[in-house]
Chain A
Amino acid sequence: MAKAPILGLFETADNAADAGDALKAAGVPQTDYDFLTDTPYPEGAFGERHEGHRLYIFPFVGALIGLTVGVMLTSMTSMAYPLVQGGKPIMSLPPMAVVTYESTMLTAIIFTIIGIIFESRLPAFKQGLYDTRITEGYIGVLANVEEDQLTSTQTLLTQAGAIDVVRNSGGPGA
């Protein structure tokens, strides 16, 4: 059976955390529900799972590529056009550092931007389940549950203090 999203709206963070506890107790896997907020809450405030990311790998890979390109470009240019400047060796590190630094930074930044897009799962082409009251400080608890569990989940969210529960097709996924 397909999963469907359901969104509970809570006035207080405490109630939202209670809803998270209730979903967990009801056997909903932690990967299937999430908290939607208009501002970042501190880690673990809702008793939610730790959300890891691999963003740091992206700039590292980018920097390595940029460093390699920079070193190759400068050393090959020096070898192709062997101009002696101020009696310094043809292949010397200080002049290579400027271009190498710039190319390293450039690719690290580009890869970071790609990483942010990837890790944020953006752009999301499908319109998700959302309620504009979240922008007013309400906290959304979004769960993806089996379609036959929608009614019981709605009851569970209401019992935890949801002021409203929204259901429709589609959703950003938890």
Chain B
Amino acid sequence: MAATEPKGHGHHAGMWVFPDASAMSQDVSAKTLSMPKPFTLALMVTGALFILGIVGFIGRAATDGFDEMAPWGYYMAIFSWIFMISSAAPLAAVAFRFTKSHWRRPLSRVAELFAVVGILNLLMFIPMMFLLPGLGNPGGVVEGQLELRRTIWFEGPIGAPHAWDVLAVASLAVTSMVILLLSAMPDMAESRGTATGFRGWVYNRIAGGWYGTKRQWNAQKAGLALLGAFYFMMIIFVHFVISSEYAQSLIPGWKDSIFPVIYSVTSIQMGLGTCLIVLFIMRRWGGYEGYVGKSTFWSASKVMLGVTLLWAYHLFAFFITFWYGRLEVEQNIIKYLIVESYGIIFLLNLVFSFIAPFVLLIWNPVRRSAWGPALAGLFAIFGGLMFSIRIFVGSANAAKGDEIYAFFLEHVPAPAYPDVWDVFMVIGGIGAAAFVYLASTKLFPLLSLWEVKEGTLYQKWRKFIRGEYLVLGKPE
């Protein structure tokens, strides 16, 4: 183990770890190369689920084709669920790097690796392009004007909506991938001489010219900062595009400025939650306990608690406006998505996105543990799944055919229950995302070596009067 015993007093026992920088590369490299039985089993199970998902997709396509959106509601839901996690997780690395938090160091690579899942997401988005109806109703002209769907594209600039949607999702995936490669470059350079096969080929292509000169570190630091800023600016925009394009614009008359924010907040909660689950697994069963102190969970749990409260606030803000406004369309939307048609799903969404994580995370001893924030993360991703099903299955099935161009939702549609292909696609989608992530951990080290090593320069355990405490250096 390339680490000393965890440090801390009383309530903070085991809070901080001080890895041995000199043995870190070898140790983590060995962990990256190893294929323990549970890992192989997880890879096989998720791989099998991935195949099940492909079967479900083919079954759905063969049964219903791509002309109607309604049969693809569950596909949209699982796309959205994976997208929300894979897009927001890298934000955890970006945001806490901005704030120069030392506790984020073991979390960075775990978060950045979701960029690889983003590529899967991009592929999953292709069929959704075919499903999205055009802006104008080809069969409807009202008072000499073409009847348009209410979208963010208004008059419809060239390429809208399809080309701009693809560009948005692709640019987010590419940016997160570049952030991952730029961040992993120094770590890949360490192993470029010893890595063989595909891994060796990738390391030498990407990190062949990395020597760790001052210029390179400066460019990497500035590059990560700039791309991080752009990523932050893009993710909010792409969340806005997806949530308005595949949810609001498909339910006639749904006009709500708060919904894209709920979408982003749910996504951030799920992204951070998933990172904490992965960190917990790494620490508990992956042999990384010497690198991941409880301080990471403790600090991240406070952010998690804040985001959970934000979720509740935005949900209430959305609900109260519609409930008090009492327009027919607003009442129908509330009945459809919250109270009646998808009432049970909404209840599960509320319990797992807010009540359960909130009740768990208000306790300081739970926040200071490793399992508490990870469990809250598990709740959040289940709640997010319910959110995606409620919103995207609901949106895909709200209006059929030309009804989508109507001014408002005149009735409360019935809920759409999943058939066997839907079940396959949802389970398969979860399996596919897990499979891709697990596979990527064999290519990229799960720990950002250069960042954790940098942390050892600035974090020391020193005596002060009668006790020993963590001393932090802040060079900037």
Contact = CB atoms under 8 A, between A and B. Distances in A.
A120 B212 contact: no
B289 interface: no
Contact of B215 (A42, A51, A128, A132): A51
Interface string A25-53: 00000000011111111110000100101
A51 B454 contact: no
B157 interface: yes
Contacts of B201: none
A65 interface: no
User: Which 10 residue pairs of A and B lie closest in terms of their CB atoms, listed nearest first?
Assistant: A124-B209, A95-B154, A42-B475, A116-B223, A39-B453, A119-B219, A135-B190, A40-B217, A120-B219, A39-B454
Interface string A133-157: 0111100101000000000000000
A41 B215 contact: no
A98 interface: yes
Contacts of B449: 38
Contacts of B25: 38, 135-136
B270 interface: no
A55 B217 CA distance: 13
Interface in A60-111: 73-74, 77-78, 81, 83-85, 88, 90, 94-96, 98-99, 101-102, 105-106, 108-109
Interface residues of B, number: 58
11 contacts: A34-B215, A53-B215, A83-B146, A105-B171, A108-B230, A116-B223, A119-B219, A121-B215, A123-B209, A136-B23, A174-B213
A53 B234 contact: no
Nearest to A98: B152
Given A73-B158, A77-B157, A95-B155, A53 B167 contact: no
A8 interface: no
Nearest to B154: A95
A98 B215 contact: no
A113 B174 CA distance: 10
Given A77-B158, A106-B171, A172-B211, A120 B454 contact: no
A83 B230 contact: no
Interface of B: 21-23, 25-26, 145-146, 148, 152-158, 160, 164, 167-168, 171, 174-175, 178, 182, 186, 190, 193-194, 208-223, 226-227, 230, 233-234, 237, 449-451, 453-454, 457, 475-476
A64 to B, nearest CB: 15
Contacts of B457: 39, 41-42
B406 to A, nearest CB: 16
Contacts of B175: 109
A1 interface: no
Nearest to A35: B214
B211 A36 contact: yes
B22 A136 contact: yes
Contacts of B167: 102, 106
A59 B225 CA distance: 12
Nearest to B227: A112
A65 B366 CA distance: 50
A13 B226 CA distance: 29
B221 to A, nearest CB: 6
A55 B222 contact: yes
A130 B439 CA distance: 30
A124 to B, nearest CB: 3
Contact of B450 (A39, A90, A101, A124): A39
A154 B328 CA distance: 84
